[in-house]
Structure 1
């Protein structure tokens, strides 16, 4: 199995910059920078499964296993998971569950079907079978005395699981990951595999128990830039920038273990700003940490160019309207604020355009009112067009910059057009029917 390298961060903190630099080295196979392989740490992943197994609660274990298998099923349908794991991601995951489970049977409990989708036909025949059971059983008297009038009932049955944590859990989990990356080795004979977001940026010592050979690069970013860029350009709702005090508490909170993580020999913490303003020194740290050689850096500057990326740093100076918030961030998060080099204030351009935050707030208010403004009532057909699959692809051409993405857009538009002939009239009908 190849050595796994992963770049991670705290959400828009610049880990892709480190990914791009490492991709420039020979003998490092990158599994596509757009492919975030997060099944270890995302909700319902391996870490959540381990937590349930450690407690051993029979119902929580069943739910955790089912949620993990549901996550696996969702990920298995994604193109990247099919490609890199040769369509065998779900198979290896099921084999893994079989290896850790003490018992499996057809059963149920009051929330045992939460993760199961039943068809109308399934529900029809379940209810028919329930009536047959009641007809046959007919509330017969059995030898047990039940003072609260309890009696047997017919319930929908599905695969039910039980497992508990023991010393073999980590070995079996490592074997599972090894099997998955044996599938990856079919695509490459490189000594190192670069997997984006394979680990989170916290509790890394726990995740290393699943994949001990992993090297983790954490990239962090100046909170002032993160704050203004989300308000002005990104509008990501998982970054709380509506209120500066909430942002400060959140930013500091999710870095609760950063000082511990950097003491780990398998972890390298880099500043996004250092990758730009102190590029050669940051590059040396990366090469030393990952044992990469100068002669392997065959595409230096091809994927990451600090001279171009400088446009993405020191952005908080472009937005004087949030100056008071920046001062508060500097006071509360001083240890995370980067010491930028002198001379950057020259040529600063004030961004006077309407921030994306405002567009989002306006749209959110519309959603709450459940009523279009007069301006958009006259453009309702354009909005409904954009809601169709064909319409969304047509509108996406504004963001397709490369020939490859444009060709993908044309292919999708041809695929979706036949459905549009049905979808668009249905959208119009639904809208006016709701208006009534």
Structure 2
């Protein structure tokens, strides 16, 4: 690939405006930016983080192999089909191939076998209907039929217990190969959405080479009003008091983690709008980009457009009571607009 590609990503707390950052980097001629799909395979349930936990940190003869199965199931689910385009289309048709190779590299050996959680994954009705014919035969033939043979004859048990060093090495090779599929234009930078979470960030950064992270947050008043009245969201609570609890809950680890400023950059969504020039310089300096490559400024992220999504309680006075309540409950998270 010549010069080593650098990877950038954003993470947020849901609805906090991280797409403003990915859109900003779409305006550079040396950045390949994927802003239209979140790539969460490192930190979602059954993703890379849980795989590491079960294979390395909490090795168990049952759990470890089962975790590989769960990741394979994750891979299959996030592949594409005729109704939904997911990772297979994003990774140029190589998501499943590269992921299966990754699972194989982590597998020490495998054999025909099963245990109880293989049935648990498929649900009780699946087990009932698969066992029913064998149980009928067992009654008819006087208890001589193996009731498990038909049900589990094709089930495979995996064994895996890599060292931390091996797991991280193989995982970085895997993520490098995936990202090379995304950057077929061989640009200097690759911009991705949500490949690490907004909590325990540096732990998840261990799965990637040459990664820098932007953490984006926004004023809780606007977030509440957008979630309730624009998104009609079921992710964030619509009750003001519960929303305040949820808002603090989602950010609680930020007070505990000691971020490396060379790897992780915090950015306030409102600063991108009200302090655009200063924020643009901050983003470029942290990423290592030069202004000469910013060939299409304000074409993908235009602060004059995004400003309409701020201070919604001013635009809609009927929301002011809820906004004031949130301001009283979450004073440390408020953005201080001019004139307030």
1:175 corresponds in structure 2 to: 173
Establish whether residue 5 from structure 1 lines up as the match of residue 4 from structure 2: no
Q: Shift of residue 317 of structure 1?
A: 2.9
**Between Structure 1 and Structure 2, whose CA radius of gyration is higher?**
1
> Within 2, Cα distance between the matches of 1:80 and 1:188?
21
Q: Shift of residue 127 of structure 1?
A: 3.5
* Correspondent of 1:107 among 113, 118, 132: 113
In the TM superposition, 1:179-194 aligns within 5 A as 179-185=177-183, 187-194=184-191
* Correspondent of 1:254 among 246, 250, 257: 250
> Within 1, Cα distance between the matches of 2:136 and 2:201?
49
2:131 and 2:147 in contact (8 A); partners too:
no
1:204 and 1:261 in contact (8 A); partners too:
no
2:219 corresponds in structure 1 to: 222
String of CA shifts for 1:287-306, please: whole Å, max 9, x gaps. Answer: 10011111100000111111
SS in 1 for 2:252: coil
> Within 1, Cα distance between the matches of 2:304 and 2:272?
10
String of CA shifts for 1:68-125, please: whole Å, max 9, x gaps. Answer: 11111121215352334231211211111121223322211122134459xx9xx679
Q: Which has the higher contact order (CA 8 A, sep 6+)?
A: 2
Cα separation, partners in 2 of 1:179 and 1:337, compared to 1, 3 Å: same
* Correspondent of 1:37 among 36, 39, 46: 39
* Correspondent of 2:73 among 54, 70, 73: 70
SS in 2 for 1:202: coil
* Correspondent of 2:17 among 11, 14, 19: 14
1:228 and 1:319 in contact (8 A); partners too:
no
String of CA shifts for 1:207-258, please: whole Å, max 9, x gaps. Answer: 11100311111110100111112121111111112x2221111111111222
Q: Shift of residue 275 of structure 1?
A: 0.5
Cα separation, partners in 2 of 1:281 and 1:59, compared to 1, 3 Å: same
1:195 corresponds in structure 2 to: 192
Aligned pair count? 328
2:227 and 2:233 in contact (8 A); partners too:
yes
> Within 1, Cα distance between the matches of 2:21 and 2:30?
16
C-alpha RMSD of the superposition: 2.9
TM-score (norm 1): 0.68
2:52 corresponds in structure 1 to: 50
1:159 corresponds in structure 2 to: 156
2:299 corresponds in structure 1 to: 302
In the TM superposition, 1:229-248 aligns within 5 A as 229-241=226-238, 243-248=239-244
> Within 1, Cα distance between the matches of 2:180 and 2:298?
31
Cα separation, partners in 2 of 1:133 and 1:70, compared to 1, 3 Å: farther
> Within 2, Cα distance between the matches of 1:268 and 1:133?
67
SS in 1 for 2:36: coil
> Within 2, Cα distance between the matches of 1:132 and 1:62?
31
Q: Shift of residue 11 of structure 1?
A: 0.6
Cα separation, partners in 2 of 1:288 and 1:225, compared to 1, 3 Å: same
Cα separation, partners in 2 of 1:92 and 1:134, compared to 1, 3 Å: farther
SS in 2 for 1:217: strand
Gaps of 5+ in 2: none
2:213 and 2:263 in contact (8 A); partners too:
yes
TM-score (norm 2): 0.86
